[in-house]
Structures are given as C-alpha cells and as structure tokens.
C-alpha cells in the first residue's frame, strides 16, 4: 500500500480513501500497524482539527434520529460531518450500532457526511484505541464535526469522553422517579444534557424532565472547564427538528469559551498523554498474546495450578522467556 | 539474609520469623523480591494448606469482635489461627484496618494466634498480591485457619475471594429497606452470610434480617460449587459468643463437601492460574515504573501532548527504548 498516496487522497477529502484508512488502523496485522502509524504521523503534520462531540444515550432515546437531524442541519450550514461509534456491546454480540446506515438515510446520502459503524473488536480498549485514530483520520480528511456515538453503561462513556472535546447526553422524557436511572458518573461527564422527544403528547413531560435535570446539574460541583450556567439541560425534538439550532449555539459558545480560556487545548494535550500511556501499556501486554507466548503462559499457569511451581516462580520464568528480566 | 534458615524457622512455627518473612514479601526492593520468591518456592515444597476464610463487612458490623470471638473459639479447639487484612482504604489514607491490635486484645495474646495489619501500599493490586504471599507464609508456618479480613466496596471483596477457600459476609441487623445496601455482586460472592449482634434488644431484628437475606439468597442461581442449602444466612452474636460453633460447623461441612467433589482443589488451581497471570502482567507494566522509564514516558507524553508526535509514534519510541519491539 502506498501510504503517501493514501495520505494525499485523505487530505483531499476522498471518503473512500478515508474508509480504507480506517480499515487499516483497525487491523491487527503487524505490517498494517506500521503503515497505520506512518499514515497517522504524516496526516498529523497537516494540523487539522475538527470539533469532536461525544454523544451517549440508552437505546430508544432516539440517538439515530438525533444524529440524522443534527447532522443534516450542520451539513445545511456547509459543514462536513463524520459519525463514528464506540459500542461496548459489539465486542460481545458481534453486532454494532450504526450497523444499519438506513437508520440515517438522509445523512448517509450527503456528500459532506461520512458514517462509519463501530468496529467489532474483542474488547472495549481495542475499539477505543482504534476509534481515536479513526477520529484523527476524519480530522485530516477535513471534516468539521466528528460525532462519536456510544450506548453505554459507564465505561464506554469514560472512553468516549477521552476522545471528545465536548460530551452530550441524550435522554428521553420520563417521570421524576426515573431521574435516578442515569448514573451520576455519566451525568458528571455531560457538558449538555438534551432531553429528546419534546414533541406531541410528550412535550410537557420533556419540559418537566429537562427542569429536573437542570436542577440536578445545579447540585453538581462547578468544573473549572465550564463557564457560568454549564453544564446545562435543553429540550430538543429530533423528529420535528426543534431546538437543534439552539443546542448547536450552546455547543459553539462552550467551545469558544474553552478555547479562549485554554481549557480546550489543555484537554487535548491531556488526552494525547492519556492515549500515549494506553498505547504503551497495551503494547507491553500484547507480548503475552502471540501464539508462542500464549502457549508458554498456559504451560506455566498449569505448572502453578498443579503446585509444581509457585505463581511467583512461574511468573519469573515467563519473564525470562519474554527476555524482560 | 539466610533464606534457608528463615524458611526452617517458619516451618517450625516461629511467629517472629513469619512476621519478618511477611515484611520481606511486602518489600518492593528487587533483591528482596528475589529472596521472597526463593523463600516461597522453598516453603511451597512442604505442601501445607490452611483453610483460607475471606471475611467482609462494612465498618460497625463488629468485624473485630467477631474475629476475636471466633478466633478464640478456634484456638480453644487447639487450632492455630492467623488473621490478615486487605484494606483498600489504607492505600489512600495510609491507615490500616487491624492497625490497633488492642481491638483483638485476647486473641493477640494467644501463642496460637497471629495478627498482621494490612500493608499500606500504593494500590489494591499490590496489597492483594503481597497478601496472597502472606497467606502462603502463614500456611507454611502451620496455621490451620487463615482469616483474611476486608472492608470494601466491591473490588477488594473480589480480590479477597481470589485468595480464599470460602467467603463470609458479616452484616448488622437492619430494617428491610437496608437490605438493598449490600451490593448484589458481594452477596453473590458470599458462601455464608452472618448477621451479627443477635443479642439484647437487636436480637429480633437480627432474626428478621437473617430471614430476609436467606430469602434473597434463595433467589440467586445455585452455583456448582455449592451443596444444597448453600449459600446460607445465619445469626451470630460475637459479643455473647452465640452461634459461632454453628457457623464453624457449617463452614466445615461446606469445605468437606467441596473437597469431596473436587471443587476445593479446582478453586485453588484456578486461583494459582489467576495470580500467575497477575504477576506476569504486573511485572511487564512495572518496567514503566523505574525512574529512567518514568522520565522517558514523561518526555514522550509531553511530545505527544504538544503535537510533536502522535501518541502512536511516541508509544513506538517508548517500546524501542524498553527494547520491546
């Protein structure tokens, strides 16, 4: 594969080249990894940055409809929009969110949009590391906004927040009791809570739910990276396309403030540090995953299990095998 | 240090030698680790095994009083009893449970008892790995029962269950609503739930609480390592020393059944496999913790943070530095 040529095509905004490059960074083959690292290094020199928006919400809150409506609005303003997914469930089921592009029928037909389903890797950590690189590829391809969707139970939100400049939590209208269903940790990650389905008979419930969450957010400690009145809760209707422009205006205001204060840059720097550490730790532990190392691990684990060796001695032998000591 | 001599003194039941050996396995010095590994390997050949009992309970349920009464009963039966602690809070506060031996005044004066507070290491993983080795030392020193105490929030219970042959959960009498306070995961780990303080005015509450938990336990899926009617809930009074003999009889019955079925041996083998894997992973990641490696990590993390390198390229340089590639 000619990495220089692939890089040039990505920089020119070629979506097929982008798709091919994402497949490259998702590959586990060692030679692909070498190519991927070279490509990313080359593209990073262009210094292009998109606004990275993390988006979380449980199934049924209308995430796909929101992304479709919100994405179409941004495209209508002349912006280029990429949509990626981090899906903890796909690791188990082999399925993936965004698997069905028809859920975003209009957006997927836009030349200024790019939609990529979640890779089905064996664990969340692997998915996340490669998604971070897919985000970098989208930035190099000139996208203005990269939406990173997740449906999660806490851990995937943490990962997505480490990939994002701002984090949206999409909720459905609900009675007061159901407020408790959102984990405090996820609420604390959110920069903006959007209560969707503020239309038709659900509109008054949505308004009440939004007020409830606004109240709950006021109880959280103010974060240094937030201006006054953030994090905040808003109502939207993805179906009727109400409130989307207001939500986008709030996002832009937040980003402008953070950029002016330096928080935006600090966050990106901290994220780069974090992912560097993750890459190093992952690569060290990956030495245990070769077929030969697995066989040796299994042999020594059995020796420890039957009592021929203590776990400590067996570990020492494994490290000697890996030539680490 | 003469490891052969230290080993012989431990095998003869010398408590001061045991205490010294536990300090040795808790040390982070590389030469101490070599000595510790050799000592453990030497002692393992003796093939001595104690009954390892994990014990969890939130502060205030009377864990110290229970260990004192239960331990005194066992000592009274001619058994030798060691008490160790895994304390996730000590990592943060620097304090430790069991720090005050006077909380177990009678037991600490018994020649057939040994009490060791929790080591204050930087993280739970480190504490757990060394506690596992302290348990092995107590076994070699001829103790019949090793009690491993923890006060936890889930994670430390998981660790202690990986160290134990059976797991006790000590609870205080409480109203029905408070039943929810015990995390499902911890309840699923318990082989026997003991509702303490079944004495004086709290006795009827304790009886009711015990019945509530017995009902909750019946709703859990039966585990293959359990005979009929396990896991079970019992009332005890550590202060009045009621119910302790009955609880001990249940523990022994459970252990006998598991030994007869092979579950006991399978569990020990699985634990040895688990700890072997933990030791290997820890040792690999420990390569990042030398002063030189930390400095290099920091230099490269900064390069990634300011954008001189992508995280992937920086990680590759770190691996080259560690001579891992």
Q: Give B160-188 pLDDT, tens digit per residue.
A: 889 999 999 999 898 655 555 667 778 88
Contact A84, A138 (CB under 8 A): yes
Domain extents in chain A: 1-45, 48-261, 290-322
Q: How far is A37 from chain B (nearest CA, A)?
A: 6
Which candidate from A277, A281, A315 shows the least CB-CB separation from B276?
A315
pLDDT of residue B91: 46
Q: Where residue B155 falls among pLDDT bands split at 50, 70, 90?
A: confident
Instruction: Find the radius of gyration of the CA atoms of chain A.
Output: 22
Q: Between chains, do A40 and B319 touch, taking CB under 8 Å as contact?
A: no
Contact A51, A258 (CB under 8 A): no
Which comes out higher in pLDDT, residue B217 or A135?
A135
Q: Is B29 exposed, middle or buried (0-12, 13-18, 19+ CB in 10 A)?
A: exposed
Q: Where residue B223 falls among pLDDT bands split at 50, 70, 90?
A: confident
CA A154 to chain centre: 13
Which candidate from B40, B301, B312 shows the least CB-CB separation from A312?
B40
Q: Which ranges constitute the DSSP H helices of B169-310?
A: 184-189, 203-219, 244-261, 263-286, 291-306
Angle of helix B311-321 relative to helix A263-286, nearest 10 degrees, comes to: 40
Q: Which of A315, A316, A317, A319 to mutate to test the interface with B (most CBs of B within 10 A)?
A: A315
CA angle (A212 as vertex; A207, A213 as ends), nearest 5: 100
With 70 as the cut, is the pLDDT of residue B119 above it?
Answer: no
Q: How far is A211 from chain B (nearest CA, A)?
A: 29
Which candidate from A272, A302, A313 shows the least CB-CB separation from B41?
A313
Q: Between chains, do B287 and A133 touch, taking CB under 8 Å as contact?
A: no
Which candidate from B37, B270, B311 shows the least CB-CB separation from A312?
B37
Residue of B nearest to A271 (CA): B305
Q: Where residue B6 falls among pLDDT bands split at 50, 70, 90?
A: very high
Element (H, E) at A39: helix A30-44
Residues β-bridged to residue A235: A195
pLDDT of residue B45: 92
Q: Is the peptide bond before A231 cis (omega within 30 degrees of 0)?
A: yes
Which candidate from B47, B283, B285 shows the least CB-CB separation from A281?
B285
The Cβ-side half-sphere exposure at B125, using a 13 Å CA radius, reads 11
- How many contacts, defined by CB atoms under 8 Å, are there between A and B? 130
Q: How far is A130 from chain B (nearest CA, A)?
A: 11
Distance CA A152, CA B83 (A): 41
Q: Where residue B216 falls among pLDDT bands split at 50, 70, 90?
A: confident
Residue of A nearest to B271 (CA): A305
**DSSP state at residue A237:** B
Contacts of B278 in chain A (CB under 8 A): 311
Residues β-bridged to residue B294: none
B61-81: average pLDDT: 95
Q: Between chains, do A312 and B36 touch, taking CB under 8 Å as contact?
A: yes
B68-86: average pLDDT: 95
pLDDT of residue B93: 46
pLDDT of residue A120: 59
With 50 as the cut, is the pLDDT of residue B306 above it?
Answer: yes
Residues β-bridged to residue B86: B150
Q: Between chains, do A276 and B133 touch, taking CB under 8 Å as contact?
A: no
The CATH-assigned architecture of domain B1-45 is: Up-down Bundle (1.20)
Tokens for A38, please give them. 């070279």
* SS3 assignment, position A181: helix
B22-39: average pLDDT: 91
Which candidate from B270, B287, B307 shows the least CB-CB separation from A284?
B287
Contacts of B136 in chain A (CB under 8 A): 310
Query: Can you name the CATH fold of B48-261?
Result: Rossmann fold (3.40.50)
Residues β-bridged to residue A56: A150, A169
Element (H, E) at A20: helix A15-26
**DSSP state at residue A102:** G
Residue of B nearest to A297 (CA): B277
CA A308 to chain centre: 46
Which comes out higher in pLDDT, residue B282 or A93?
B282
Q: Which of B42, B268, B278, B311 to mutate to test the interface with A (most CBs of A within 10 A)?
A: B311
Distance CA A303, CA A312 (A): 11
Q: Between chains, do B312 and A287 touch, taking CB under 8 Å as contact?
A: no
Residue of B nearest to A25 (CA): B312
Q: How far is A311 from chain B (nearest CA, A)?
A: 4
In angstroms, what CA-CA distances link A25 with B28, B104, B245, B300?
A: 39, 59, 62, 21
B182-198: average pLDDT: 87
**DSSP state at residue B234:** E
Distance CA A42, CA B320 (A): 20
Contact B193, B233 (CB under 8 A): yes
Q: What contacts B110, CB < 8 A, 6 or more positions away?
A: B71, B72, B75, B81
Q: Where residue B224 falls among pLDDT bands split at 50, 70, 90?
A: confident
Which region among A115-129, B79-93, B142-156, B179-193 has the lowest average model confidence (pLDDT)? Answer: A115-129
With 80 as the cut, is the pLDDT of residue B135 above it?
Answer: yes
Q: What is the dihedral of CA A151, A155, A159, A162, to 10 degrees?
A: 110
Residue of B nearest to A294 (CA): B277
Which candidate from B280, B309, B318 shows the least CB-CB separation from A280?
B318
Q: How far is B20 from chain A (nearest CA, A)?
A: 19
Q: Where residue B136 falls among pLDDT bands split at 50, 70, 90?
A: very high
- Residues in A whose CB is inside 8 Å of some CB of B read 36-37, 40-41, 44, 47, 132-133, 136, 269-270, 272-273, 275-281, 283-285, 287-288, 297, 300-302, 304-307, 309-316, 318-319, 322, 324
Q: What contacts B200, CB < 8 A, 6 or more positions away?
A: none
Residues β-bridged to residue A148: A54, A84
The Cβ-side half-sphere exposure at B307, using a 13 Å CA radius, reads 12
pTM over 0.95: no
pLDDT of residue B181: 60
Tokens for B171, please give them. 């609870």
Residue of A nearest to B323 (CA): A324
Tokens for B73, please give them. 């009963």
With 70 as the cut, is the pLDDT of residue B122 above it?
Answer: no
Tokens for A227, please give them. 């201006």
Q: Which residues of chain A have pLDDT under 50?
A: 91-95
């Amino acid at each position: 594969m000619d990495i220089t040529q692939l890089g040039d095509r990505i920089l020119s905004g070629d979506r097929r080249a982008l798709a091919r490059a994402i497949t490259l960074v998702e590959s586990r083959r060692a030679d692909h990894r070498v190519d991927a690292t070279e490509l990313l290094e080359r593209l990073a020199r262009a210094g292009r940055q998109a606004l990275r928006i993390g988006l979380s919400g449980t199934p049924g809150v209308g995430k796909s409809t929101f992304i479709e409506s919100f994405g179409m609005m941004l495209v209508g303003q002349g912006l280029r929009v990429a949509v990626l997914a981090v899906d903890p469930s796909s690791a188990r089921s082999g399925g993936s969110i965004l698997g069905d592009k028809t859920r975003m029928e209009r957006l997927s037909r836009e030349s200024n949009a790019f939609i990529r389903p979640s890779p089905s890797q064996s664990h969340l950590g692997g998915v996340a590391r490669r998604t971070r690189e897919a985000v970098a590829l989208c930035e190099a391809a000139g996208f203005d906004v990269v939406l990173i969707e997740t449906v999660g139970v806490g851990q995937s939100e943490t990962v997505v927040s480490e990939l994002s400049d701002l984090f949206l939590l999409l909720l459905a209208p609900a009675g007061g009791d159901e407020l408790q269903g959102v984990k405090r940790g996820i609420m604390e990650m959110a920069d903006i809570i959007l209560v969707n389905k503020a239309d038709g008979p659900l509109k008054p419930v949505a308004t009440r739910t939004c007020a409830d969450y606004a109240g709950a957010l006021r109880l959280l400690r103010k974060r240094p990276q937030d201006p006054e009145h953030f994090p905040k809760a808003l109502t939207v209707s993805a179906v009727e396309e109400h409130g989307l422009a207001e939500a986008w205006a709030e996002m832009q205001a937040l980003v402008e403030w953070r950029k002016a204060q330096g928080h935006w840059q600090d966050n990106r720097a901290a994220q780069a540090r974090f992912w560097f550490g993750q890459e190093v730790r992952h690569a060290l532990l990956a030495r245990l995953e070769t077929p030969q190392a697995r066989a040796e691990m299994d042999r020594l684990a059995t020796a420890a299990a039957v009592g021929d060796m203590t776990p400590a001695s067996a570990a020492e032998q494994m490290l000697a095998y890996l030539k680490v000591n």
